[in-house]
Amino acid sequence: MKKAISLILVLVFVFSFAGCSNKLNNNIDNTAKLEIIQYDVSDGAEKATVTVTDSVNINHIADNLQALKLKKLEYNDPTVLEYKLIFCNTDGEEIEIISVPVNDWLELDGSFYSIASGELDRAYIARFFKPTEYHGKYADDSSLLVISSEAEIIADKIMSHYENGGIVLATYWTYAEQIQEILAPAVTTSFSASDTAVLFYKTANAAPVSSTIVGNMSDMDAEIDEMIDNAKYNQ
């Protein structure tokens, strides 16, 4: 009897874990490009797409996904997508496509999986589609012009601030692209969705500089403060 009970316990232990696994392709470790599509959750239409190529952001997302334990769903309620993650190798070939519904599920290879263990870092993915918030020690400094919305991209104001020795902070990469066009040809750096915050200023000898933070730091205000500290030192 004791042997029979022991056997049953072992079988229950095995079967209870058999449904949980990480189905992700290990080749996502070799990702050279990650495309992230954001969907409008109200109607399911594609809303925006960003391309991530730096290893800092790609590795964070890949490591987070691979740490999850997934359980295949035999049935799931109707849902809508929030994101789609397309991992590509150096040849541009798709390694893995992962759909992220609004629910706490993942979809890959035509099946839905619940997250049995771990947590998907949605906040990290979301920040590619919105400006960085800055509330650091220079937030009220008159020498710093913070651009945190499209409405604040006013060419004359930005150029005047920059030419008079001010520092311009772009809190979103597309804002940085537009500011670069305003300041051109002085600034010619290219930007991407991996750029969390970008600083524009001139050094003491009037040389144009742009500084960039890549990745989602644990204390973004402190990182931006340090970038501004360096700019002020160089001025």
pLDDT tier for residue 135 given thresholds of 50, 70 and 90: very high
For the stretch 97-115, pLDDT in tens is 999 998 888 998 888 898 9
Run of H or E including 179 = helix 173-183
pTM given for the model: 0.73
* Predicted confidence (pLDDT) per residue in 45-78, tens digit: 999 999 998 888 899 999 999 999 998 888 767 7
Phi/psi of residue 12, each to 5°?
-60, -40
List of residues 6+ apart from 131 with CB closer than 8 A: 148, 149, 171, 172, 175
Helix, coil or strand: residue 68? coil
Do residues 124 and 216 make contact, with C-beta atoms less than 8 angstroms apart? yes
